[in-house]
Chain A
Amino acid sequence: MRRPSTKVLVAAGLLVALFLAGLVSRLADGDPDGLTKVSEDHGFADQGTTHDGLLGDYGSLTGVIGVLVVLGVAGGIALVVRRRDREDENS
C-alpha cells in the first residue's frame, strides 16, 4: 500500500478541520453544554460573567479563521521547540 506523505496527510487533515469548523459546525447542537446546564440546574449560572471576544461568536467564517490561527500558533510553537534532525537521536 502506498502511504501518503506527511505533507499530503497534514493538508488533508487541515481540509477536514476547515470543513468541520466552516460547515459541519452549522449542524452543532445549540443546547447548553454539560457544565453550563449543570450550572443552570444548580443555580450558579448567574455567577458567571462574559467578556467580548475579538472575533465575536463562532460562525463559519470566524471558525475558519480560528482554525488557521490555532494552526499557526501551535505549529509555530512546535517548530521552535522541536529538535533539529540529527542522526540516531532517540529517547
Chain B
Amino acid sequence: MHVPDGFLDAPTSVGTGVVAAVAVGVALRGARRELDDRTAPLAGLVAAFVFATQMLNFPVASGTSGHLLGGALAAVLVGPFTALLCMATVFLVQCLLFADGGVTALGTNILLMGVITVVVGWAVFKALQAVLPKRLSVVAPAAGIAALVSVPVAALGFVLLYAIGGTADLSLGHLATAMVGVHVLIGIGEGVITALAVGSIVAVRPDLVYGARPVLEKRELVVRTSDRAAA
C-alpha cells in the first residue's frame, strides 16, 4: 500500500507529514516505558523482520498481490510506541534506499501503514484480550485478528486522505469499495502471518512478548510464591 509521490496534493502531504512527525515524537517518549536492556534488541529484530516480510508479496486476487504491513505484529511483540518507531524506520529505509513509497508521501505512508495499523492493531488486540480468557494460547490468535482488521482500516485511511487531497477526480465510493475489498483479502494473509510469527515467539519466550505480559504476570506470581515456600 506504499503511496507514491503525486497521488495526494502538497497540502495533504504536508499535513500527513506533520501528523506522522508528531506521532513519532510521541512514540519516542512512550517507547521508553516499553524498552529496557532485555527487550531493546528485540525492537531491531522486529523492524528487520517487518522489512523482510514486506518484500514477500503474496497473490490475493487476479493480478493483484499484497504483503504484510506489520503494525499489529510489531505492537503485540514490542509494544505500540516501539512498534511505531520500528515501522517508521522501515518506511524511511524503503523510501530512501528502494524508492518504495514517495519522498513527499513518507508522512502519508508512516501515517497509513504505521500509525493506523499500530493503533488499530493494538486497540483490537487489547479489546480481545479483555474479553477472552487470560491464557497464553489466546495471544497469537488475538494478534492475528487484530492484524486482519488493521489492514482494511488503513485502506480506508487512504480513501479518506484521497477525499481530502487526491489529485484525480474519481468516485470515492468506488475507490472505497475497491480498496477495502482487496485489503480485506490482504488482511487475511496479514492475520495468518501475524498469528504464526507471534505464536512462534510465544512458544519459546513468552516473557519477551509485550502483549503476553498481562497473562504472564498472573502466572509468575503463583510460581514465585511456590518457589519461596519450597525454599
Contact = CB atoms under 8 A, between A and B. Distances in A.
Contacts of A32: 63-65
B135 to A, nearest CB: 17
Interface size on A, as a range, is 35 or more
A55 to B, nearest CB: 4
A76 to B, nearest CB: 8
Contacts, number: 231
A4 B86 CA distance: 24
Interface stretch (B96-104, B126-134, B222-230): B96-104
Interface string B199-225: 001001100100000000000000000
A47 to B, nearest CB: 5
A80 B7 CA distance: 35
A70 B7 contact: no
Contacts of A28: 55-58, 65, 67
Given A9-B201, A16-B49, A42-B174, A66 B97 contact: yes
B136 interface: no
B11 interface: no
Contacts of A51: 5, 99, 102-103
B52 interface: yes
Interface string B31-69: 111011111111111111111110111111001111100
Contacts of A61: none
Contacts of A58: 55, 98, 100
A90 B11 CA distance: 42
Contact of A78 (B53, B85, B179): B85
Interface string B1-12: 111111100000
B82 interface: yes
Interface stretch (B15-23, B116-124, B142-150, B164-172): B164-172
Contacts of A27: 56
Contacts of B66: 33-34
A69 to B, nearest CB: 5
Interface string A28-71: 11111111011101111001111111111110001101111111
20 contacts: A4-B204, A6-B41, A10-B42, A20-B53, A29-B58, A30-B57, A34-B1, A34-B65, A35-B1, A35-B155, A38-B182, A43-B168, A44-B170, A48-B102, A58-B98, A65-B97, A70-B48, A71-B45, A78-B40, A82-B35
Interface of A: 3-4, 6-7, 9-10, 13-14, 16-18, 20-21, 24-25, 27-35, 37-39, 41-44, 47-58, 62-63, 65-79, 81-85, 91
